[in-house]
Amino acid sequence: MAVRGKWIAAVALVATACSGGSSDGSGGGAGGAALPVLGAQPVYNLAKVELVSSVKAQGSCDALAERLRRLGDEHVGPYGFGWGGYYGPMVPPVGPYRMRRSAVSDSVGGQASAATEKSLPLSEGGDGSFSGTNNQEAGVDEADTVKTDGKQMYLLRDNRLLVVDVSAGGAGAKVRGSLTFDDASPTSMLLADGVVMVFSQRYIDPSAPEVKQVKDRLWRMGAPRTQVAMVDVSNPDAPTVTDTVDIDGDLAAARMVGGRAHLAMRFTPLGLPFVVPQSQIGEDTARDMNRRIVRDAPLEQWLPHLWRDGKRSDLVDCDSVWIPDTFAGVQMTSIVSVPMGARVETSAVSLLAPGETVYASSTSMYVTAQAWFDQQTIGENSDEWPKPSEWKTAVHRFSIGDAQPGYVASGTVPGTVRNSFSLGEVDSHLVVATTIGLPWNSTDDEKSKSQLTTLSTDGTTLVERGSVTDLGAGETIQSVRIIGKRAYLVTFRQTDPFFVVDLSDVAAPKLVGELKLLGYSGYLHPVSDDLILGIGRDANEKGADQGMAATLFDVSDPASPKAVGRWTQPGAYSDVEWDHHSFLYWAKTATAFVPATVYDQASGGGQLVALSTDGNALTERGRVSITQGNVGETQCAKVGGDQIAATLGGKSGIIPTGGFIQLCGPNQAKGAVGMSCMDVSDDMIESYAGKTREQLGFGADTAIQMCTPDVVRTIERTIVVGDTLWTLAGDVLQANDLATLAAGPQVQLG
């Protein structure tokens, strides 16, 4: 590999050797098994981990490779980098305490450049006649599965990009064009000026014939990659891919500022063929072999690459790779900048540290992860694992204002973040809300509490400026919203403290108001300068789940916040708690559109609830359900009754009541109205029928699907275009009257 310039090593975790506390050790080993004793190495106490300024210039790619090999040699063990070859922090992740399913989001946002003290995220797009993605903050667009320019709607469904013309309202809406990604799974996209940037997950199958033909051995390795495809949608009838590249690793987040996308990528070094001992006796030998593997590894195996047509190029230059002075793990976090256009042109910066949660402003991107401690130094005695109260979060700041992203600074805060809403910017200072400890610990010294910390950049270090501590003792943060010069936090265990923190002086943030309610808000949305809407859970005095709830908070007097409206729905939940893109607030009618899944089928299953905040009150305007239409309608040939027995060897009992099997030709759209359809694989056919596909007379170009009736059709997205409220659920896009909520025509996407 050619020399690409000098290497700069900077800022990192400094570990101090001392004894740790107690933990159940659930983060180590398969099934939570205790780690073996690995010799006389220091044990890192996470409570003593700090980030300090230290900049070194190594001068060349050779020096970079040597530094990486030396770090690897010092920290590799008999199981690779960690138990089972794990490459990142081994602390078990702390999920916020919830009464229902996990609610982690990777969403990021930016600090708006508004002149007013309180800047609200806008739901309107373009000229204000249509809604955009529900972004965390104004000025930073977030990748999502649905985008619109007010005329066309772009949707990712399965492995297809669909273009739906919605310019004429519900009656004239139709699918104009589609694009299929055969060897990738689209996950999200960005839209700007007739170009859609589609992000897909890819996994290279080393045994595939087309892969075997590629000479580059790194390409042939089975590894996750992220495909970035530029799609020209200027002709809605024929969306066309103009360029495609693969980037090594997983996409943690993608955001767009001013026509330039910024990707946060996570990469694990490729092709380090570590050995694993078969017993504890073989650990010394395995460690020695793994050290040799690391010492011999070339630079290209440590760094992520960009691939175009199977040909490798450098994603990041050596002088844009930053390495901690003290080991933080070998996972590489890269910020990749890509302008929207016909061709994928990248510039990148990398840091040798893991990245989990991502937050972006219009000028900076912050990546956080639980601070590293070296599990290779931990013995089988569980008392050596750090206490939850000692866990810290590492925060890394990158600049994204220019064409070339850059590394800026790092720091740590105590505790763990919930999601990207736990971070925000106030006058270029970073604000981070964290929970310290676990809420279910019974001992006084391990009792959980939350904290808000402000940090500023001092050289290459994020240093603490101020903090508000001891929030919600025994509870965990459920939601955070940082707006202008205030932060709003909700913690929960049995009651819902709603905290208001004044951030006008970042060196001395102050808790100025608190309100206690039953239940909690899992998502907070500003509807005006003085009103905050919370979506979450209702609870009784003992903290038991009572269903879905929405609360309207009046914060006009921050010292005395009030709940001026409350709405509840027993036996229901909302995806908004973990997917804020499913929420829409339409300011022109002062209406929040909140998806709700109601367990009582008599109430309609998946619904959209319209909540009015007009008059500083919270009232229900009405509800929208996705009507089923012609349930079972399909372009394919149905196989039912006696035909099921003939087709699948008499095992007709595999089809539930109301379901069927269908045969779809190459030119027929798969799926069926009001049905959930899945492809029946060749292995499944042989298992059901006792015969192969060929023996049953089905050609390779015939798709066999098993379809069952939908039980609940969850509304995934809500979009306003003109006077039409569009609701998306599965393969149905339904038009509704914005004023009356009356259901109108549907567009079938299957």
Residue entry with tokens 């101020």: 466
Instruction: Give residue 702's identity as a one-letter amino acid code.
Output: T
More confident residue, 437 or 97: 437
Beta bridge partners of 433: 452
Q: For residue 382, what pLDDT is reported?
A: 54
Q: For residue 643, what pLDDT is reported?
A: 62
The H or E element spanning position 622 is strand 619-625
Q: For residue 669, what pLDDT is reported?
A: 85
Q: How far is it, in rounded angstroms, from Cα 411 to Cα 676?
A: 47
Least reliable range by pLDDT among 24-38, 80-94, 107-121: 24-38
85: pLDDT strictly greater than 60: no
309-344 residue pLDDT tens: 888 899 999 989 998 776 778 889 999 999 999 999
Q: For residue 244, what pLDDT is reported?
A: 97
DSSP character at residue 614 = G
Burial of 668 (0-12, 13-18, 19+ CB in 10 A): middle
543: pLDDT strictly greater than 60: yes
What count of other Cβ atoms lies within 10 Å of the Cβ of residue 31?
Answer: 5
217-260 residue pLDDT tens: 676 666 789 999 999 999 999 999 999 999 999 999 999 999 99
Most confident of the following: 38-52, 122-136, 484-498: 484-498
Residue 193 near residue 309 (C-beta atoms within 8 A): no
Mean pLDDT of 633-662: 69
Whole-structure pTM value: 0.81
Q: For residue 21, what pLDDT is reported?
A: 33
More confident residue, 224 or 140: 140
The structure tokens listed for 61 are 């790619």
Closest CA to 157 of 122, 193, 189: 189
**Alpha-carbon distances, residue 274 vs 77, 86, 289 (angstroms):** 9, 11, 8
**Alpha-carbon distances, residue 298 vs 61, 294, 302, 303, 605 (angstroms):** 11, 9, 7, 10, 56
More confident residue, 542 or 6: 542
34: confidence class by pLDDT, cuts 50, 70, 90: very low
477: confidence class by pLDDT, cuts 50, 70, 90: very high
Indicate the pairing of strand 347-351 with strand 321-322: parallel
469: pLDDT strictly greater than 50: yes
Residue 128 near residue 715 (C-beta atoms within 8 A): no
Q: For residue 102, what pLDDT is reported?
A: 27
Q: For residue 705, what pLDDT is reported?
A: 86
Nearby residues of 260 by Cβ (< 8 Å), 6 or more positions away: 337, 338, 339, 340, 400, 403
CA atoms within 13 A on the CB side of 195: 20
542: confidence class by pLDDT, cuts 50, 70, 90: confident
Query: Angle at Cα 491 formed by Cα 486 and Cα 496, nearest 5°?
Result: 100
Coil, helix or strand at residue 580: helix
Nearby residues of 617 by Cβ (< 8 Å), 6 or more positions away: 552, 564, 565
What count of other Cβ atoms lies within 10 Å of the Cβ of residue 181?
Answer: 20
Closest CA to 160 of 138, 142, 145, 143: 145
Output Rg (C-alpha) for the chain, integer angstroms. 27
Q: How far is it, in rounded angstroms, from Cα 449 to Cα 415?
A: 9
690: pLDDT strictly greater than 60: yes
Coil, helix or strand at residue 11: coil
Q: For residue 443, what pLDDT is reported?
A: 54
DSSP character at residue 532 = E
Burial of 663 (0-12, 13-18, 19+ CB in 10 A): middle
User: For the stretch 44-71, what's the b/e string if a residue is b when 16 or more beta carbons lie within 10 angstroms of its beta carbon?
Assistant: bbbbebebeebeeebebbebbbebbbeb
Q: How far is it, in rounded angstroms, from Cα 427 to Cα 163?
A: 40
Q: How far is it, in rounded angstroms, from Cα 362 to Cα 400?
A: 8
Q: For residue 86, what pLDDT is reported?
A: 39
Q: For residue 117, what pLDDT is reported?
A: 36
Beta bridge partners of 528: 531
Residue 161 near residue 177 (C-beta atoms within 8 A): no
Mean pLDDT of 155-162: 94
Backbone phi, then psi, for 61, in 5-degree steps?
Answer: -65, -30
Residue 579 near residue 553 (C-beta atoms within 8 A): no
Q: How far is it, in rounded angstroms, from Cα 298 to Cα 293?
A: 10
Residue entry with tokens 């009572």: 546
User: For the stretch 463-497, what's the b/e string if a residue is b when 16 or more beta carbons lie within 10 angstroms of its beta carbon?
Assistant: eebbebeebbebbbbbbbbbbbbbbbbbbbbbbbb
Mean pLDDT of 94-116: 29
